[in-house]
């Protein structure tokens, strides 16, 4: 019999047959300028900034420029968030579980600050010192999947749509913010697309792939450069392809000139 991990139990209780309208997008970016930028930031701050932190900051800036995606849907109407909050997924128990670390006002923080906050929150998750996460895990383990599905739906609506905190269940107001970012590159995957998690009520999911050396054409010449693939799954109720283009344009701009990341 296969092991019913917390993560697998949560997945079974969460998803059903797809019926939502989704937009899938993919960006292939020249990672060279960002890799050089990361080296400079590490040397200046001593913080272990990674490309995932840079993507998180770039996406947060893009969300600030495309506010139609930075909000929630409640009673059939869009309600904007007052700040740009981004969540990063943290692999736990050798992949048997996932935690999340939400960074508030991510568009206004430096990549080094984001890295430091994420490191601190991830450390608490690994040490089992995150009280809210431990409370939620206890509930997940106790309930059968058919009851867990109902609870996730109700709690997700209360926390993610209404913005109600439920301390007894470890649920904060708007627990995931407007975007969830996770790295699949660390697992050796060049790219991937994430499915929406209904109870999270997040309109944008971003996956950061692996950096690979690939041939590219520059000034009519074939050169080898480091490239990064970033993919997105977007809730079509929030934006269409045009607004998605604003996100893509912003991320491309910041990867080409990463010094602009320090301006906001």
* Across 195-200, average pLDDT: 88
Task: Please report the pLDDT score of residue 77 as a whole number.
Answer: 87
Q: Is the pLDDT of residue 26 over 80?
A: yes
Mean pLDDT of 162-185: 93
**Longest CA span, the chain:** 61
For residue 93, what pLDDT band results from cuts at 50, 70 and 90? confident
| Listed ranges 127-131, 216-220, 235-239; the one with the highest mean pLDDT | 127-131
How far, in whole angstroms, is CA 68 from its chain's centroid? 17
The per-residue pLDDT for 17 is: 54
pLDDT digits (tens, 9 = 90+) for 118-147: 999 999 999 999 999 999 888 888 899 999
Would you say domain 23-118+179-263 falls under CATH 3.30.559.10?
yes
Res. 9: pLDDT tops 90? no
The residue extents of the domains of the chain are 23-118+179-263
C-alpha triplet 242, 248, 253: angle, nearest 5°: 130
Decide: residue 153, CB within 10 A, 0-12 exposed, 13-18 middle, 19+ buried: middle
Q: What's the rounded mean pLDDT across residues 234-261? A: 88
């Amino acid at each position: 019999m296969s092991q019913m991990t917390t993560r697998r139990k949560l997945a079974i209780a969460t998803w059903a047959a797809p019926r939502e309208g989704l937009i899938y997008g993919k960006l292939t970016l020249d990672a060279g300028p960002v890799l050089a930028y990361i080296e400079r930031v590490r040397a200046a701050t001593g913080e272990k900034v990674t490309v995932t932190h840079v993507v998180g900051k770039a996406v947060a800036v893009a969300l600030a420029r495309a506010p139609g995606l930075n909000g929630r849907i409640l009673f059939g109407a869009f309600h904007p968030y007052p700040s740009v909050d981004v969540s990063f997924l943290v692999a736990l128990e050798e992949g048997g579980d996932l935690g999340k670390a939400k960074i508030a006002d991510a568009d206004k923080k430096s990549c080094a600050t984001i890295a430091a906050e994420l490191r601190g929150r991830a450390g608490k998750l690994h040490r089992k010192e995150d009280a809210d996460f431990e409370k939620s895990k206890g509930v997940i383990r106790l309930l059968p999947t058919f009851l867990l599905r109902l609870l996730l739906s109700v709690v997700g609506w209360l926390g993610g749509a209404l913005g109600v905190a439920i301390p007894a269940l470890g649920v904060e107001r708007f627990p995931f913010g407007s975007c969830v970012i996770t790295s699949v590159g660390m697992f050796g995957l060049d790219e991937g697309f994430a499915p929406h998690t209904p109870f999270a009520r997040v309109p944008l999911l971003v996956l950061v792939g692996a950096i690979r050396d690939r041939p590219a054409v520059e000034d009519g010449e074939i050169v080898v450069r480091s490239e990064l693939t970033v993919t997105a799954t977007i809730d079509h109720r929030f934006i269409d392809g045009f607004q998605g283009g604003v996100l893509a344009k912003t991320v491309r701009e910041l990867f080409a000139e990463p010094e602009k990341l320090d301006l906001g």
